[in-house]
Amino acid sequence: MNNFILTLTCLVTVAFFPAHSFAVAKFKITTYNVRNFSTIDEEKSITSNTDAKALFEVLSEVDSDILAFQEIINGTLFRNLLNKKLPSHELLISECGGTADQKVALAYNTKKFKLISSEEDWRVSLSTRCNYGLRPALVTVLRHKVTGKRVGVVVVHLKAGSGDRNRNTRREQHEVLSVILSELESQRLDDVIVLGDFNTTSYFEQTPGAAQFEDFMKNNDLRNSSASVSCTSFWQGDRGDGNMWPSHLDHVLHKGKSRMLRAYSGAHCARSACQPTPKPDLGDSFNNVSDHCPVQVEFRYPR
């Protein structure tokens, strides 16, 4: 009789609670610097800034629930493009983008996440003027619809360049981000993810700038969930050998309850295996979209 009651209880439980509610809830998040997105060209003319087909291919490859973008100059055009490619995603985009008008943005899958709040934080831009100085941060809180877990997502694009002056500017930005993270901590969120283009120049060589970045993570109890990827972008290098050289500028930093499952750097980073490569061999994603690659991390929430 006891076995019968146990079996009946299990059947009733399954009937009232669908199988997916027992499954481990997973989500993928990606950061991608789209390199001065302002115009598109369907026919790859030499004056095109971004080739739409090549960009679509990159977005199809990463297929993420949350996507962070940097260097979005033409926000209206980018929104229209995403509506075609990712109709289930809602796009949030900053009003300001610094002197170069390079706005930051976040797209989230409305089938998986509900928007709780979103604000543009000028403090990271180190300026009080909309399009003067550096890029702001975009601070968003989402609720995962299956688990009810709340995640804070901070999209950044920090000061570019090597040298003491640029590194010191990034240190100031790290300090502001630490304040933002402290404010998010007070909301008792389940997870916080800071991602984007941190411009960690000479990251591979463990320069003072790399050490500074490591200190920022340590001071804020952040894990570099994308540390295992071999590169995130390519540049011309300083060797004069005709190759483009890999670098590591983009990161996905995390703390909280969810567990990182895998990290991936796509597009030309994957095709080249992050090896020095002649520019033509890096293909359309490099030559017609961006020097950066999409960096994706997959997480899962505990049951």
- State the average pLDDT over residues 265-283: 97
Residue with tokens 């789209």: 34
What pLDDT does residue 48 have?
Answer: 53
In this prediction the pTM is 0.90
pLDDT at 17 over 60: no
- State the average pLDDT over residues 90-117: 97
Residue range 286-302, pLDDT digits in tens: 999 999 999 999 999 98
CA distance 137 to 96: 10
Backbone angles phi, psi at 229, to 5 degrees: -75, 145
What pLDDT does residue 206 have?
Answer: 66
What pLDDT does residue 202 have?
Answer: 75
- State the average pLDDT over residues 166-175: 95
- State the average pLDDT over residues 157-184: 95
CA-atom Rg of the chain in angstroms? 21
41 confidence band (pLDDT: 50, 70, 90): low
Asked if residue 86 lies in contact with residue 100, where contact means CB atoms within 8 angstroms, the answer is no
pLDDT at 16 over 80: no
* 65 or 8, which is more confident: 65
What pLDDT does residue 241 have?
Answer: 87
pLDDT at 276 over 60: yes
Least trusted range by pLDDT, from 146-150, 169-173, 233-237:
233-237
What pLDDT does residue 42 have?
Answer: 59
Range 14-20, long-range pairs (CB < 8 A, 24+ positions): 20/146
Count of CB atoms within 10 A of residue 95's CB? 11
**Strand-by-strand arrangement of the 277-278 sheet:** 233-235, 243-247, 277-278
3 confidence band (pLDDT: 50, 70, 90): low
Parallel/antiparallel/unpaired status of strands 103-109 and 89-93: antiparallel
HEC secondary structure over 208-259: HHHHHHHHHHHHCCCEECCCCCCCCEEECCCCCCCEEEEECCEEEEEEECCE
Residue with tokens 């609670």: 17
E strand or H helix at 82, and its extent? helix 75-85
CA distance 68 to 76: 16
Share of residues in the chain with pLDDT > 70 (%): 88
Residue range 104-137, pLDDT digits in tens: 999 999 999 999 999 999 999 999 888 889 999 9
CA distance 119 to 122: 10
| Of residues 92, 88, 81, the one with CA closest to residue 65 | 88
CA distance 287 to 53: 13
Length of the chain: 303
CA distance 228 to 262: 9
pLDDT at 64 over 90: yes
Least trusted range by pLDDT, from 2-11, 83-92, 241-250, 270-279:
2-11
Domain spans in the chain, listed from the N-terminal domain onward: 23-301
The superfamily in CATH containing domain 23-301 is: Endonuclease/exonuclease/phosphatase (3.60.10.10)
Least trusted range by pLDDT, from 20-29, 77-86, 178-187:
20-29
- Sequence-distant (6+) residues with CB within 8 A of 169 are 126, 134, 159
pLDDT at 13 over 80: no
Amino acid type, 274: C
- State the average pLDDT over residues 48-60: 88
What pLDDT does residue 162 have?
Answer: 86
SS3 262: strand
- Sequence-distant (6+) residues with CB within 8 A of 116 are 141, 142, 143, 150
Average predicted confidence (pLDDT) for the chain:
89
Residue range 198-256, pLDDT digits in tens: 999 877 766 777 889 999 999 999 999 999 999 999 999 778 788 999 999 999 999 99
What pLDDT does residue 46 have?
Answer: 41
